[in-house]
Amino acid sequence: MLLLTSIGILLLVAAIAPLLVRVFRSASGWVLALVPLSLFAGGIGTLQMLSGTEAILEQWTWVPSLGIALSFRLDGLSLLFSLLITGIGGMIVIYSGGYLRGTPKLGRFYAYLFLFMAAMLGLVLADNLIGLFVFWELTSISSYLLIGFYNEKDESRRSALQALLVTGAGGLALLAGIILIGTIAGSYEISYLLSNATDVRQSPLYPAALLLMLVGAFTKSAQVPFHFWLPGAMAAPAPVSAYLHSATMVKAGVYLLARLAPVMGCCGEWHYLVMLAGSVTMFVGAVMAVVQTDLKRLLAYSTVSALGTLVLLLGIGTELSVKAAMVFLLVHSLYKGALFMIAGTIEQKTGSRDVRQLGGLLKILPLTGAAALLAALSMTGFPPLLGFISKELMYEAQMQAPAAAPLILVLGVIANALTITVAIIVGIRPFLFARDRRPAELRIPAPAMWIGPLLMGLGGLLFGLFPGLISNILIEPAVQAVRAEQVDVDLKLWHGINPVFLLSMVTVALGLVFFFFRRKGRSLVAQLRLPGGVTPSGMYQSAVDALPGVSAAVTRVVQSGNLRGYLMIVILAFLVLVLRALLAVPEWPAMPSLAGVTFHEYGIVLLILAATVMVLVVRARIAAIAGLGVVGLGIALLFIMYSAPDLAITQILIETLTVVIFVLAVSRLPRLRKRSPVRTRMRDALIAVMAGLAVTLLSLLAVGVQLFPKISRYYADHSLSDAFGRNVVNVILVDFRALDTLGEVTVLAVAAIGVFALLKLRLNGREKV
Amino acid sequence: MPSIILRIAARTLTPTLFVAALILLFRGHNAPGGGFIGGLLAAAAVTLYAMANGPSSARQLIRVTPRTLMAIGLGIAFLSGVPSLFLELPYMSGQWVTLRLPFVDALPIGTALVFDIGIFIAVIGFVLTIFFALTEAEEEEVR
């Protein structure tokens, strides 16, 4: 119950958040933060329970016929993520109360935020892949709502839609991948997959499943070439950027890779694809970051780079690299979440996000500044912060890459150096240097706005000084969950002077060099800018722009508005399908003998034929309709002769009503002035004759074919005993196949409403003219 | 104005047809008939009345709008499948009770009958929706 209840509580809070905000007003941030923080405390409490590779499992049936259960699993990996989600979530909730103070939409904001929190927690706790997918999509939707929170701004709406389309498309790929995995393994339960990993890996469907799953993970975690939505998502309020787009949601793809690493991560495909995406993203993100001048875009691209690093480390897939990934995951969430919140504070207090205009802020924002310095130092990997430990591990891991290790190491060093540059630009320079750009006066931020960043910054320092706090109880179970084996994790701050330490020093030096040449870099990249058509975001834009045109063209062809055209398409499609099947018939039954046909039967058939000819020849529509009525009544007579009274009654009534309705409709049509040209009529006649022939052949064949024992016998036998009815036709309609009847009548109702709407709408349109 | 013959005929034919429709509905389980056929006949009765006396008086005759009739009919048909759920049977499994009244044979009554009544009402509603939409459109055009 524990895990389901946690998610349920968050959903409940999401539902009542607007109400709570109305009650607690400006204090609502502090009150609401109690919810994620108590869940965080509960998570801390379970730390001790998860030793080794154990997991807490919960399960409820959901859709048993499809093998989908509402099942949850708490192991080291999901606990690490859960603590990040609830812990940082608590800080964000507090911060939002200060950042969005006085916004009339604050209640709605908290509703979205808690919805997201519930979805994200569900994602990392789900033990069923379909359940995981549902939560995955729910995070996309809540992210859409949060990015577009300033819904009066065009840019917000566009960015929100872009993020939704990119991650949504990835989500579809992921769903396909999940279904493939489920088909291979026969179960969607992650626990089952973990213990039957070889089945999945050896299947011929493995490469396809892997590829689809990776597309899902890469879009969510903003890997190149799907990275462009993340900088776009910076249109969101700062707490959203801090929470969704650096600390949690964008790490969902990383989570998925880590979760499925023991199942799918074995073979060359995995290593090369994941390492390739990760290393390219790590490098491109870092280069793109330093040339930005907007605080949030700097942080966004550096987040892209960090996500690339995480993916790369998981792609390398050794024990050490997984360890490095888990530590870096924690470090990055702490410092990047803090820096995003700080960026929001700076923007709100100074009115600018342009790093070129900011300076000397430490004096005015001392506590925010302290938090910024701590976070930035952790980001640079400066000892004794946790970032230092993480970077050393990262280098060690990159040396173990199964392919192109030297290249990856070089890329890693450059990316880290650029990250240091970003840290200086964002976290250090605006506070310590450029004092001449200090704004004259500034409102002091409320405690809500600095307490979260400061705690997260201090966390980086605390865990760096005392890595023993996290290494055994937090990182070790997480690494074990990803490796699916016993692993000892013992983090140390000081390793002595070794190659990795020297690399760290080189990185710092390079980072400083990059910092001093950042303006040159900006102008260089400005010249190198790719034309819009070949960048991923440009391609996305042209695809989105082309969509209305394409759908208009398709609609023009498919929905021509010409009723005869529709009929012709329907009949031709029927003809092609039926004729193809008829041509394949091996043996035709003999023509039935005409010996038993009586005189009056001939009479009825002649009547029908004569009426048909009349319909074709007459010029007045009314006469043609009357002719059709005669055809229908003739067929009703045939029904009566072959003892189908129900059908006959129905046929007569339908014919009567059809004629009435036809006459009503025809009276509204213009007179038939001239007939279609002969060629058109010949074509129509040909199609009509072919269709008639096909139906005749089909009925001829249907009489002789008997695929199953006759179902009509069953109905006839059981009609009276089971359903107390002697009229088998009616019993079938209202009892045996009542659900079909209900469906058909519903279709009739929908059709009637359609007719009604068409006629009324047209009239209204005319009334306006 | 429609002919006086039609109006006089409609005055007697409409109720007769409607009674015939009800008979068709109720005997449908054992003899030719049923909700669909009965509904069509009842709708034809109203149609006849409308042709004789104009659609607005026909609307007064049935009191509710045909679209409401569709909704009511569909609702009844849908609900008739619900009782079986309480017996943990699949949706729409027929349920029967036998009615034993004095002087007549034992009469089994079931959810299928309820279902058929729903179909009956829905069919009337759907024919009349189209019919009224067409006739009233015509009237507005004449105006």
Distance between CA atoms of B98 and A600, rounded to whole angstroms?
45
Looking at per-residue pLDDT, the higher value among B28 and A689 belongs to A689
Mutate to test the interface with B, among A734, A748, A763 (most CBs of B within 10 A): A734
CB-count exposure of residue A635 (10 Å: 0-12, 13-18, 19+): middle
pLDDT at A768: 43
Mutate to test the interface with A, among B97, B129, B139, B141 (most CBs of A within 10 A): B129
Contacts of B37 (CB under 8 A, 6+ apart): A646, A649, A650, A653, B24, B25, B28
Query: B130–A756: do the CB atoms touch at under 8 Å?
Result: yes
Cβ atoms of A457 and A335 within 8 Å: the answer is yes
Torsion angles phi and psi, residue A62, rounded to 5? -130, -75
Handedness of CA B39, B40, B46, B49 (dihedral sign): negative
Query: A724–B126: do the CB atoms touch at under 8 Å?
Result: no
Phi-psi region of A392 (alpha: psi -120 to 50; beta: other; left: phi over 0): alpha
**Residue contacts between A and B (CB atoms, under 8 Å):** 147
Which of A738, A752, A760 shows the shortest C-beta gap to B126? A752
Q: Is A752 on the interface with B (CB under 8 A)?
A: yes
Place of tokens 């429709």: B21
Beta strands in A198-261 (DSSP E): none
Number of domains in chain A: 1
Q: Return the axis-axis angle of helices A252-264 and A129-147, rounded to nearest 10°.
A: 160
Query: Quick one: which H or E segment has residue A73?
Result: strand A68-74
Distance between CA atoms of B86 and A498, rounded to whole angstroms?
74
Q: Is A664 on the interface with B (CB under 8 A)?
A: yes
Q: Is A696 on the interface with B (CB under 8 A)?
A: no
Query: B112–A738: do the CB atoms touch at under 8 Å?
Result: yes
Mutate to test the interface with B, among A653, A658, A719 (most CBs of B within 10 A): A653
Handedness of CA A173, A174, A176, A181 (dihedral sign): positive
Please, what are the averages of pLDDT over each run of 10 residues along chain A (769 residues)?
89 93 90 94 83 77 82 92 95 94 90 96 94 95 94 92 94 95 91 87 90 95 92 91 91 94 83 92 92 92 95 92 94 95 91 87 88 94 90 90 87 93 92 77 81 94 91 89 86 82 90 89 78 78 90 86 84 90 80 81 92 87 87 90 84 87 77 75 90 88 70 73 74 81 90 86 53
Length of chain A: 769
Query: A646–B134: do the CB atoms touch at under 8 Å?
Result: no
Q: Which residues of A touch B122 (CB under 8 A)?
A: 745, 748-749
Query: B112–A759: do the CB atoms touch at under 8 Å?
Result: no
From residue A449, give the alpha-carbon distance in Å to each of A116, A306, A389. Answer: 21, 25, 28
CA of A727: which chain B residue's CA is closest? B30
Instruction: Identify the CA nearest to A420 among candidates A411, A428, A431, A408.
Output: A428
From residue B52, give the alpha-carbon distance in Å to each of A35, B5, B18, B48, B142. Answer: 71, 9, 16, 6, 18
**Helix, strand and coil percent figures for chain A, each rounded to 5:** 80, 5, 20
Query: B125–A722: do the CB atoms touch at under 8 Å?
Result: no
| Two tokens, residue B103 | 């002087």
Q: What is the DSSP string of A398-414?
A: HHT-SS-HHHHHHHHHH
Q: Is B108 on the interface with A (CB under 8 A)?
A: yes
pLDDT at A440: 64
Tell me how far apart the terminal alpha carbons of chain B are, to the nearest angstrom: 15
Tell me how far apart the terminal alpha carbons of chain A are, to the nearest angstrom: 64
Q: Is B40 helix (H, G, I), strand (E, B) or coil?
A: helix
Place of tokens 């359903």: A723
Query: Quick one: which H or E segment has residue A60?
Result: strand A56-63
Q: Is A75 helix (H, G, I), strand (E, B) or coil?
A: coil
Number of neighbouring beta carbons within 10 Å of residue A313 = 33
Smallest CA–CA separation between A720 and chain B, in Å?
Answer: 9
Handedness of CA A317, A319, A323, A324 (dihedral sign): negative
Amino acid at position A220, single letter: K
Contacts of B9 (CB under 8 A, 6+ apart): B52
Q: What is the DSSP string of A312-377?
A: HHHHH--HHHHHHHHHHHHHHHHHHHHHHHHHHHHHHHHS--BGGG----TTTSHHHHHHHHHHHH
Q: Is B23 on the interface with A (CB under 8 A)?
A: no
CA of B70: which chain A residue's CA is closest? A749
CB-count exposure of residue B111 (10 Å: 0-12, 13-18, 19+): buried
pLDDT at A77: 92
Distance between CA atoms of A454 and A448, rounded to whole angstroms?
11
Query: Quick one: which H or E segment has residue B99?
Result: strand B96-99
Torsion angles phi and psi, residue A535, rounded to 5? -80, 155
Q: Is B39 on the interface with A (CB under 8 A)?
A: no
Q: Is A748 on the interface with B (CB under 8 A)?
A: yes
pLDDT at A707: 65
Query: A730–B129: do the CB atoms touch at under 8 Å?
Result: no
From residue A754, give the alpha-carbon distance in Å to each of A259, A744, A750, B78. Answer: 49, 15, 6, 21
* DSSP state at residue A52: T
Cβ atoms of A216 and A254 within 8 Å: the answer is no
Smallest CA–CA separation between A661 and chain B, in Å?
Answer: 6
Query: B138–A668: do the CB atoms touch at under 8 Å?
Result: yes
- Those of residues 514-553 in A touching chain B at CB distance below 8 A are none
Query: B33–A730: do the CB atoms touch at under 8 Å?
Result: yes
Which of B71, B81, B138 shows the shortest C-beta gap to A738? B81
pLDDT at A717: 77
Query: A745–B74: do the CB atoms touch at under 8 Å?
Result: yes
Query: B24–A724: do the CB atoms touch at under 8 Å?
Result: no
Which residues pair with residue A257 across a beta bridge? none
Which of A725, A749, A755 shows the shortest C-beta gap to B30? A725
Kindly report the three-state secondary structure assignment for every residue of A542-601.
HHHHHHHHHHHHHHHHHCCCCHHHHHHHHHHHHHHHHHHHHHCCCCCCCCCCCCCCCHHH
pLDDT at B140: 57
Phi-psi region of A25 (alpha: psi -120 to 50; beta: other; left: phi over 0): left
Query: B94–A649: do the CB atoms touch at under 8 Å?
Result: no
Smallest CA–CA separation between B116 and chain A, in Å?
Answer: 6
Which residues pair with residue B109 across a beta bridge? B97
Distance between CA atoms of A282 and A261, rounded to whole angstroms?
20
Q: Which residues of B touch A741 (CB under 8 A)?
A: 77, 115, 119
Mutate to test the interface with A, among B126, B128, B135 (most CBs of A within 10 A): B126
Torsion angles phi and psi, residue A165, rounded to 5? -65, -45
**Helix, strand and coil percent figures for chain B, each rounded to 5:** 70, 5, 25
Residue range(s) defining the domain that contains residue A393: 267-528
Query: A756–B134: do the CB atoms touch at under 8 Å?
Result: no
- Rg of chain B over CA atoms, in angstroms? 18
Query: A667–B138: do the CB atoms touch at under 8 Å?
Result: yes
Q: Is B83 on the interface with A (CB under 8 A)?
A: no
ipTM of the complex: 0.86
Distance between CA atoms of A161 and A768, rounded to whole angstroms?
36
Distance between CA atoms of A181 and A210, rounded to whole angstroms?
9
Query: B47–A660: do the CB atoms touch at under 8 Å?
Result: yes
Q: Is B15 on the interface with A (CB under 8 A)?
A: no
Mutate to test the interface with A, among B26, B36, B96, B139 (most CBs of A within 10 A): B36
Asked, for residue A313, whether it belongs to a domain, the answer is yes
Asked, for residue A510, whether it belongs to a domain, the answer is yes
Q: Which residues of B touch A731 (CB under 8 A)?
A: 29, 112
Query: Quick one: which H or E segment has residue A70?
Result: strand A68-74
Place of tokens 């204090």: A27
Residue B88 has pLDDT above 80, yes or no: no
Smallest CA–CA separation between B23 and chain A, in Å?
Answer: 14
CA of B115: which chain A residue's CA is closest? A734
Number of neighbouring beta carbons within 10 Å of residue B106 = 8
Number of neighbouring beta carbons within 10 Å of residue B32 = 18
Q: What distance lies between CA A441 and its chain's CA centroid?
A: 45
Which of B44, B126, B140 shows the shortest C-beta gap to A748? B126
Smallest CA–CA separation between A723 and chain B, in Å?
Answer: 7
pLDDT at A312: 94
pLDDT for B112-142, tens place per residue?
A: 888 889 999 999 999 999 888 888 765 555 4
Distance between CA atoms of A617 and A627, rounded to whole angstroms?
10
Which of A654, A665, A727 shows the shortest C-beta gap to B31? A727
* DSSP state at residue A675: P
pLDDT at A764: 55
CA of A734: which chain B residue's CA is closest? B112
Query: B123–A734: do the CB atoms touch at under 8 Å?
Result: no
